[in-house]
């Protein structure tokens, strides 16, 4: 099983969808349901972190006088 902290957003969201599907079907044992829920929570957190990173990168894009991207600015600047 891949370490959640090493997963791309796309891989994490795909696995999260699989986990949710398994839990919704209810065809897994209680212990496995708990493990799936924990994995799902970690995957959700990973997806949220990757989305936040992307939002921060977009927020740092600076535009020139013509409206074209010219680079990035510090997030706190």
* 28-68 pLDDT tens trace: 999 999 999 999 999 999 999 999 999 888 878 877 778 77
Residue 74, pLDDT > 70, answer no
Cα separation, 77 vs 46, whole angstroms = 26
Q: Quick check: 9 and 51 in contact, CB under 8 A?
A: yes
CATH number of the domain encompassing residue 13: 1.10.287
What integer pLDDT is reported at residue 77 of this predicted model? 46
| Residue 21 falls inside a structural domain | yes
User: What domain range includes position 25?
Assistant: 4-72
| Residue 64 falls inside a structural domain | yes
Task: Determine whether 53 is exposed, middle or buried from the number of CB atoms within 10 Å of its CB (0-12, 13-18, 19+).
Answer: exposed
Cα separation, 77 vs 75, whole angstroms = 6
| Residue 46 falls inside a structural domain | yes
- The structural domain count of the chain equals 1
* 40-49 pLDDT tens trace: 999 999 999 9
Is 60 or 6 the better-scoring residue by pLDDT?
6
| Residue 20 falls inside a structural domain | yes
* Token pair in block for residue 25: 């079907």
Is 14 or 77 the better-scoring residue by pLDDT?
14
| Residue 77 falls inside a structural domain | no
């Amino acid at each position: 099983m891949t370490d959640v902290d090493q997963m791309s957003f796309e891989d994490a969201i795909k696995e999260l969808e699989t986990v949710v599907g398994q839990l919704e079907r209810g065809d897994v044992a209680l212990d496995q349901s708990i493990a799936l829920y924990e994995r799902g929570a970690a995957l959700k957190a990973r997806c949220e972190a990757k989305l936040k990173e992307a939002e921060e990168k977009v927020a740092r894009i600076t535009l020139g006088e013509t409206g074209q991207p010219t680079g990035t600015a510090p997030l706190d600047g």
